């Protein structure tokens, strides 16, 4: 029966806890500071309200097309990554042999190596479903943009209400896209487990620090604060 060593179990627990904690931190903000993702949600609402006041929405259609194309790319990439991990699972014996030769005969147990690959399959499978759903949600957003009344509509309240629904749908799509992309980043940290539990912990901590910096202390976030200001107070 396969049993994880204490370092392996601790590293895996640290990985899961770091992922969940970081996701929570981004969703709620930190110490009253909004994350970059939350700030962009406000700009999506502003975008949709501006869209509702335009008769010609070619620009908005172009932006939606770009978002959908990028999401489709990551969807196919995650599927390829899933297939690659599945292929590796079929060649466990060869992979264990190679690792053993590189580590002077101190290779991993076959069962543990299979468990690590299964973890990769779960991560890439999760990313695929998030990207695929995000692509679908961006389609819904495009439909809501098309359903938004034009500038000439006398019912401005209804127009703004549908525009805000489009913004909310775009934010949900973006949230799913961000979760899929986050899975890719944590997959890089997960590869550290194939080296050692300590490399796994170090890679996880490094990835969390890098992503935290992008959300709360990046030039992109400062650009919104210094140039754009608060979109709720244009």
Could you report the per-residue pLDDT of 155-168, keeping only the tens digit for each?
788 889 999 999 99
Q: For residue 1, is it within any domain?
A: no
CB-CB contact of 145 with 60 (8 Å): yes
Where does the pLDDT of residue 127 fall: very low under 50, low under 70, confident under 90, or very high at 90 and above?
very high
Q: For residue 234, is it within any domain?
A: no
| Cα–Cα distance list, 189 to 12, 16, 186, 231 (Å) | 11, 11, 5, 35
Instruction: State how far the Cα of 183 lies from the Cα of 167, in Å rounded to an integer.
Output: 24
Q: For residue 233, is it within any domain?
A: no
Q: For residue 128, is it within any domain?
A: yes
Q: For residue 52, is it within any domain?
A: yes
Instruction: State how far the Cα of 182 lies from the Cα of 177, in Å rounded to an integer.
Output: 9
Q: For residue 20, is it within any domain?
A: yes
Q: How many domains does the chain have?
A: 1
Instruction: State how far the Cα of 177 lies from the Cα of 123, in Å rounded to an integer.
Output: 14
> Residue 38 is part of which domain span?
6-25+33-228
Question: What per-residue confidence (pLDDT) applies to 19?
Answer: 96
Instruction: State how far the Cα of 64 lies from the Cα of 148, in Å rounded to an integer.
Output: 15
DSSP H or E segment with residue 108: none
Across the range 82-100, mean pLDDT stands at 75
CB-CB contact of 228 with 41 (8 Å): no
Q: For residue 117, is it within any domain?
A: yes
Decide if pLDDT at 22 tops 70. Answer: yes
The packing angle between helices 156-190 and 110-147, to 10°, is 160
Decide if pLDDT at 108 tops 80. Answer: no
Instruction: State how far the Cα of 50 lies from the Cα of 57, in Å rounded to an integer.
Output: 10
Question: What residue spans of 91-196 are helical by DSSP H?
Answer: 92-102, 110-147, 156-190
Decide if pLDDT at 90 tops 80. Answer: no
Across 28-42, 89-103, 174-188, the highest mean pLDDT is recorded for 174-188
- The two three-digit tokens of residue 164, written as one number: 């805000």
Mean pLDDT estimate for the chain = 86
Q: For residue 98, is it within any domain?
A: yes
Going by C-alpha positions, the residue among 80, 43, 84, 99 that lies closest to residue 228 is: 43
């Amino acid at each position: 029966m396969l049993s994880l060593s204490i370092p392996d179990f601790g590293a895996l627990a640290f990985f899961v806890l770091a992922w969940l904690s970081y996701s929570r931190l981004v969703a709620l903000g930190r110490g009253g500071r909004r994350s970059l993702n939350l700030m962009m949600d406000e700009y999506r609402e502003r975008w949709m309200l501006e869209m509702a006041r335009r008769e010609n929405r070619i620009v908005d259609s172009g932006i939606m097309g770009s978002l959908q194309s990028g999401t489709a790319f990551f969807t196919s990439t995650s599927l390829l990554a899933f297939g690659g991990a599945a292929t590796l699972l079929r060649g466990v014996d060869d992979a264990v042999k190679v690792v053993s030769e590189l580590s002077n005969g101190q290779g991993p147990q076959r069962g543990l190596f299979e468990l690590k690959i299964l973890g990769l399959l779960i991560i890439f499978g999760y990313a695929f479903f998030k990207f695929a759903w995000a692509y679908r949600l961006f389609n819904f957003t495009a439909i809501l943009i098309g359903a938004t009344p034009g500038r000439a509509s006398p019912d401005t309240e209804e127009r703004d209400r549908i525009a805000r629904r489009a913004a909310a749908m775009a934010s949900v799509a973006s949230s799913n896209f961000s979760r899929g992309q986050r899975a890719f980043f944590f997959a890089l940290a997960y590869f550290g487990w194939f080296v050692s539990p300590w490399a796994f912990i170090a890679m996880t901590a490094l990835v969390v620090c890098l992503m935290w910096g992008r959300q709360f202390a990046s030039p992109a976030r400062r650009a919104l604060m210094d140039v754009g200001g608060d979109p709720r107070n244009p």
